[in-house]
Amino acid sequence: MNRTKAYIFIILGIVIIVPLIIYFYLNNKNIVEVPKVEKTEISVTDSVKKETDSIAIFKDFVKDFNSHQKKNINKYIDADLGMIMYYHDGPYPIISALEEIGYEIDWLNTDLFENNVKFEDFPEYLGDFKFSKTGFFVQKNKNNFLLENFDNSYNSHPPSFFNKYKKLEKLCNFWAIGISKNQKKQFYFYFRLDQKKLTLLGLEVDRLNDILFADPEASFIPFKNKNDIENYLRDHQLFLDKEQNASIDLTKKEIVYYDFPTNNPFIFDHYEIGEIEENSSKIKSAEVIFYPNESKEDGFITFFSNKGRFVVYPMGVRPPYFYDVVKK
């Protein structure tokens, strides 16, 4: 009889205790889950606000850049840290360290697109002064700012120079690409964004690979092989650079250039066409060398593009020459 009563008490205990355990478990579970949802919602809101605030800061930078006033750009440069600039002076790559910029910087008059400042992937350059999209695009820096990537062959800075400014690489947390409104230039900016303070650590003025050949107003000519080029030059014998008052006359076999004025032109016997190269997805060019005799010495080097234009690269004080076809 005592054993029977014990069994009864045990069963009643189980019946009472189990529902209580389930009840408290479910209530505790609900209590834990509610704050998680609220915390997530708050986190998303903060993230959107932070990105919006950051875009506003970069928009201000673009406006200051487009003001063409050095004081408006210098306020983003920390004189104690300095800023690295990388650009080309003609064919020569230049790496310099600045505490501030001056009006001698020719790109200071360049206007960037400022109505489309976004955190987005960078656009693709399609060629012939055309990008897949225009604007000012910002991304987080992922080892994109490396001084070792800049060509030091012309300046020959010692290792101590790069060691001094190595810290800029570590400070950089954002980089951006700005496209000029005429789409002839692109700038890479390297920044430090700390709270609401934006610091410019580096600026790379990038050369478009087809900048000497691109001309959106000119039509494309057949350019699949050397025969196409030969056929075109057979039908088009005169090319002029009106700005430099220079010419390439295939009929007279004369070239007027910086070193060869009108009264003493370069006289050539024949020319040879080199391999066709792709300067961009739209622009192609081939080296064309004019020789004064059969020895192939002292040739006059030009480049001919699928825009029907001869180009002579800049050299020292000599500017680039652009010989456009004179149509019949």
With beta carbons less than 8 A apart as the criterion, state whether 286 and 226 touch.
yes
Sheet holding 238-241, edge to edge: 266-267, 254-256, 246-249, 238-241, 321-325, 309-312, 300-305, 284-291, 270-278
290 in Cβ contact with 268 (< 8 Å): yes
Q: For residues 202 and 99, state if they share a domain.
A: yes
Q: 236, 113, 252: which is closest to 185 by C-alpha?
A: 113
DSSP letter at 260?
A: B
pLDDT in tens, the chain (328 residues): 444 444 444 444 554 554 545 444 445 444 444 344 444 444 545 554 566 778 999 999 999 999 999 999 999 999 999 999 999 887 789 999 999 987 656 777 889 999 899 999 999 999 999 999 999 999 999 999 999 999 999 999 999 999 999 999 999 999 999 999 999 999 999 999 998 999 999 999 988 999 999 999 999 999 999 999 999 999 999 999 999 999 999 999 999 999 999 999 999 999 999 999 999 999 999 999 999 988 778 899 999 999 999 999 988 789 999 999 998 7
**Which residue type, as a one-letter code, is found at position 76?**
Y
Tell me how far apart the alpha carbons of residues 17 and 5 are, in angstroms, rounded to a whole number: 18
Q: Please tell me the predicted confidence (pLDDT) of residue 103.
A: 64
Q: Which of 154, 110, 101, 157 is nearest to 136 (CA)?
A: 110
Residues 162 and 248 in one domain: no
Note whether 202 and 258 are same-domain residues: no
Domain that holds residue 245: 226-325
Domain count along the chain = 2
State the CATH number of the domain containing residue 153: 3.10.450
Q: Looking at the structure, do residues 202 and 114 belong to the same domain, yes or no? A: yes
CA atoms within 13 A on the CB side of 18: 6
Q: Please indicate, yes or no, whether residues 194 and 135 belong to a single structural domain of this protein.
A: yes
User: What is the DSSP track for 128-171?
Assistant: SS-BSS-SEEEEE-SS---GGGS--TTT---HHHHHHTHHHHHH
Its pTM stands at: 0.76
76 and 196 housed in the same domain: yes
Q: Rounded distance, CA 306 to CA 221, Å?
A: 5
* Eight-class DSSP state of 72: H
